[in-house]
């Protein structure tokens, strides 16, 4: 029996969502389109089993094949990032980060990170997250002075100042809305100078690192966390890595039994499949194309008068500050217009934000999923033109309808493979 016979309601929702994905251009910088093989592993009988523990040390019988699967996922992750230890069990990036915090900190301990409004993440010390409720985040900033050529880049003077003043246990780098290369060696130099461990949450750029389109995080970082579903193009999940045996042991205990129960072995198998794909030469080509596409997107938008955070990009994303081109247009309205034309993006706070997080003055755009569909620079230039027309439309139905038709034509030219 198929799902459409046993549960037509859910089958219909899946069919409609499939159609939605096929007929829209996915430009949320943290999303991607995973392969049929990853989904095959994730949709397998591997979901049936409890496997608490780690390979060779399980609390349940019948885990022999699960040991092989998890070990292969670990080995591939280590090869991909060139590190010694990997924990592939975190259910998500937030779970990975929580486990690292559980392993490293006592309540009230201090760590340095960037604020959410400057491109950080909820799990990096936001007051609404456990990392901000139980720990004491101290924050560094981006370069604020627009007269400087490095406006919008990480301000290493502020990193040093915060390390010097607070002597935190840990210095965090890695961001959710930062369009520039992360200078891991520079962060490490400062971490060493002030006796902090360096922790990079590379969730956004992990695939670029794995594919050689962003400088490597190892050997510079003591700790690296990531999701597996963004630029890595795997199933939704998290990953923790280190070169330090003592830290690796602490992280294993913090994941299980510290904060999670049974691992999602079907997801771990899908992670192994994705890491296998990421180790292939084609993935290097893909990662390089993601960056080329983002750079072209940035150029086309700048040529049309848009202000971008840090004036451009080195990675997979651009962050538009809409205020100079249209003071009335919020990120919320702009992303709603984009959704009407079939371009899926998210509203995002920008540096020196003047609106609430529920309105924002920015829109974040990314190229990972477009690149998976096969778009190249000239195609992305056409997408930039559609975005521009949409933002200037003032919501005009005729302009939106024409842009929608152009997006549909592009979706037909670049079908999703699934
Ligand atoms: N929600 C992700 C993003 O969009 O960047 C981060 O976890």
52 assigned to active site: yes
Name the 3-class secondary structure at 112: strand
d(CA 143, CA 50): 48
pLDDT band of 76, cuts 50, 70, 90: very high
The pLDDT score that the predictor gives to residue 116 is 83
201 assigned to active site: yes
d(CA 163, CA 24): 45
Within 10 Å of residue 311's Cβ, how many Cβ atoms?
Answer: 16
The pLDDT score that the predictor gives to residue 418 is 84
Name the 3-class secondary structure at 224: strand
150 assigned to active site: no
The pLDDT score that the predictor gives to residue 1 is 85
The pLDDT score that the predictor gives to residue 409 is 98
The pLDDT score that the predictor gives to residue 49 is 97
Residues 6 or more apart whose Cβ sits within 8 Å of residue 390 = 334, 337, 338, 340, 341, 343, 399, 400, 403
Q: Quote the tokens at residue 338.
A: 């984009």
Question: Is the Cβ atom of 361 under 6 angstroms away from ligand 1?
Answer: no
67 assigned to active site: no
Rounded to the nearest 10 degrees, what angle do helices 397-413 and 331-341 cross at?
A: 60
Residues 6 or more apart whose Cβ sits within 8 Å of residue 134 = 101, 105, 107, 108
Name the 3-class secondary structure at 317: strand
Nearest CA to ligand 1 atom 5: 176
Q: Quote the tokens at residue 97.
A: 């980060």
Ligand 1 atom closest to 177 (CA)? 5
Measured in angstroms, how far is the CA atom of residue 176 from the centroid of ligand 1? 6
Question: Is the Cβ atom of 30 under 6 angstroms away from ligand 1?
Answer: yes
Angle value at C-alpha 203, between 373 and 372, nearest 5 degrees: 5
CA neighbor of 335 nearest in space, from 352, 360, 370, 315: 360
Pocket test for ligand 1, best of 26, 30, 368 (most atoms within 8 A of CB): 30
Query: Does 117 have pLDDT greater than 90?
Result: no
Phi-psi region of 339 (alpha: psi -120 to 50; beta: other; left: phi over 0): alpha
pLDDT band of 268, cuts 50, 70, 90: very high
Q: What are the structural domains of the chain?
A: 17-34+289-413 (3.90.1150.10), 49-278 (3.40.640.10)
Give the tens place of pLDDT for each residue, 156-211: 999 999 999 999 999 999 999 999 999 999 999 999 999 999 999 999 999 999 99
**For 286-305, what is the mean pLDDT?**
98
Q: Which of 76, 188, 230, 404 is catalytic?
A: 230
Nearest CA to ligand 1 atom 6: 176
Where do the DSSP E strands lie in 229-357?
238-242, 307-308, 317-321, 343-344, 346-348
Nearest CA to ligand 1 atom 1: 30
Query: Does 119 have pLDDT greater than 90?
Result: no
3-state SS, 145-197, equals: CCCCCCCCCECHHHHHHHHHHHCCCEEEECCCCCCCCCCHHHHHHHHHHCCCE
Within 10 Å of residue 98's Cβ, how many Cβ atoms?
Answer: 23
d(CA 197, CA 190): 10
Question: Is the Cβ atom of 93 under 6 angstroms away from ligand 1?
Answer: yes
**For 72-91, what is the mean pLDDT?**
98
Give the tens place of pLDDT for each residue, 145-170: 999 999 999 999 999 999 999 999 99
Query: Does 78 have pLDDT greater than 90?
Result: yes
Ligand 1 atom closest to 227 (CA)? 7
């Amino acid at each position: 029996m198929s799902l459409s016979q046993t549960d037509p309601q859910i089958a219909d929702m899946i069919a409609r969502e499939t159609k939605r994905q096929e007929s829209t251009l996915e430009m949320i910088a943290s999303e991607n389109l995973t392969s049929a093989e990853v989904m095959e592993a994730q949709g397998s009988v591997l979901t049936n089993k409890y496997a608490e523990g780690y390979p060779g040390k399980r609390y349940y019988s019948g885990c022999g094949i699960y040991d092989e699967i998890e070990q292969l996922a670990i080995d591939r992750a280590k090869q991909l990032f060139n590190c010694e230890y990997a924990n592939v069990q975190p259910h998500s990036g937030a779970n990975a980060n929580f486990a690292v915090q559980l392993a490293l900190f006592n309540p009230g301990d201090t760590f340095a990170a960037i604020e959410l409004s400057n491109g950080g993440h909820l799990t990096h010390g936001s007051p609404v997250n456990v990392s901000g409720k139980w720990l004491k985040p101290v924050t560094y900033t981006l370069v604020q002075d627009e007269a400087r050529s490095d406006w919008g880049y990480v301000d290493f003077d502020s990193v040093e100042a915060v390390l010097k003043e607070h002597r935190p246990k840990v210095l965090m780098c890695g961001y959710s809305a930062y369009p520039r290369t992360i200078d891991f060696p520079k962060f490490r130099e400062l971490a060493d100078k002030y006796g902090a461990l360096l922790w990079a949450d590379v969730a956004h750029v992990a695939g670029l690192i794995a594919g050689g389109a962003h400088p490597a995080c190892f050997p510079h970082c003591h700790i690296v966390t990531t999701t597996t579903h963004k630029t890595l193009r795997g199933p939704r999940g998290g990953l923790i890595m280190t070169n330090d045996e003592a830290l690796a042991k602490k992280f294993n205990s913090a994941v299980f039994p510290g904060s999670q129960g049974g691992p999602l072995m079907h997801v771990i198998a899908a992670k192994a499949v994705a890491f296998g794909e990421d180790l292939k030469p084609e993935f290097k080509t893909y990662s390089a194309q993601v960056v080329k596409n983002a750079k072209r997107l940035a150029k086309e938008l700048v040529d049309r008068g848009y202000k971008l955070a840090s004036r451009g990009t080195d990675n997979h994303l651009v962050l538009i500050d809409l205020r100079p081109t249209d003071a009335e247009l919020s990120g919320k309205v702009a992303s709603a217009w984009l959704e009407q034309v079939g371009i899926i993006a998210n509203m995002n706070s920008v540096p020196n934000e003047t609106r609430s997080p529920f309105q924002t003055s920015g829109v974040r755009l990314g190229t990972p999923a477009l690149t998976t569909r096969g778009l190249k620079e000239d195609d992305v230039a056409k997408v930039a033109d559609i975005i521009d027309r949409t933002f200037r439309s003032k919501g005009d139905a005729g302009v939106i309808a024409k842009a929608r038709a152009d997006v549909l034509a592009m979706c037909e030219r670049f079908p999703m493979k699934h």
